Structure 1
Amino acid sequence: MERESLEENRSNATGKRKTAIARVRVQAGSGQIRINDRALEEYFPRTIWSNQVKAPLEITNMLSRIDVFARVTGGGLTGQAEAIRHGISRALLEINPELRESLKKEGFLTRDPRIKERKKYGQKGARKRFQFSKR
């Protein structure tokens, strides 16, 4: 992909995971990643979370050519990191549809549907029952 075509492109996308929702803006730049107006390493202190966020950019070789700005709400840090990853992948796809195959192969375009199951009344939790006594 040429630099000129990247500069005129700017893309917005939404990513979701569990209860976390990330609104992501991707544009041409120097590789800066900001989350809720904070640096990536400041927002995600563990490297596993920051690696999750960087993964789509590393696979598409755009880590040093694209700036990412994300607003994320809800959930915990793992869910937020994966929601941002989902949003970045969708935004990159808007800029360059040829990236679909590599992103799809890694599973970054698939919305993970697993969410917490609700607690049921008459039970201790979602599946666990209260102790049962025959006598």
Structure 2
Amino acid sequence: MAEEQVATSLEDLKSVMDGTAVAPTADDAPLPEPKIDDHGRSYATGKRKNSIARVWIKPGSGKITINGRDQEVYFARPVLRLIIAQAFQVADRVDSYDVTATVKGGGLSGQAGAVRHGITKALTYYEPALRRPLKAAGFITRDSRVVERKKYGKAKARKSFQFSKR
């Protein structure tokens, strides 16, 4: 139900009639409560392509463990480690949280994206005030692009076999 505005002067009435009156914004809404378990961790699931990452974060020194291995061992390519660190850089929380993640499915690129998505969601659960900068960076939205399935009568998903006139 919409709130009614009370005009106390002619200027207020004019602004209401013109549609230029200032309405209450979403900035005034209270932040949700942090979702932290008994061990002081926050949990989230991240997805990208066919990869699914279960991510737990807790305050610490910035150690990132993926499937029981250090991130330098699991993601040997520096680009993949940069993808994971992006959420912390945008939120200005570099080296302030320990991350434990388990990842299944897909390749390394999809797994890195899934871990970043999980870290982003877990950060917003631990500190709800971080949602705005992470949303502006585009990390909260799940990238839903997946490989299209192969259809019968086709060489690949959409490619046809070579046409022969004779």
Equivalent position of 1:103 in the other structure: 134
CA separation in 2, counterparts of 1:47 and 1:131?
41
* Cα distance, 1:59 vs structure 2: 1.4
Equivalent residue letter for 2:163: F
Equivalent position of 2:47 in the other structure: 16
| Identity level (%) | 52
2:161 is the alignment partner of 1:130: yes
1:74-124 deviations in whole A, cap 9, x for unaligned?
A: 110000000000000000000111111110111100100110000000111
Q: Which protein has the bigger strand share?
A: 1
Query: 8 Å contact 1:57–1:63 — kept in the other structure?
Result: yes
* Cα distance, 1:39 vs structure 2: 0.6
Equivalent position of 1:117 in the other structure: 148
1:19-75 deviations in whole A, cap 9, x for unaligned?
A: 000000000111110001111111111110001011101111212111000000111
In the alignment, structure 2 segments of 5+ residues that lack a partner are 1-35
Higher Rg of the two aligned structures: 2
2:78 to 42, 47, 50: 47
Could you say what the CA RMSD is over the residues aligned between the two structures, in angstroms? 1.4
* Cα distance, 1:134 vs structure 2: 3.3
Higher relative contact order (CA 8 A, sep 6+): 1
Provide TM-score, normalisation by structure 1.
Answer: 0.91
Q: What is the aligned residue count?
A: 129
Equivalent position of 2:32 in the other structure: none
Query: 8 Å contact 1:23–1:87 — kept in the other structure?
Result: yes
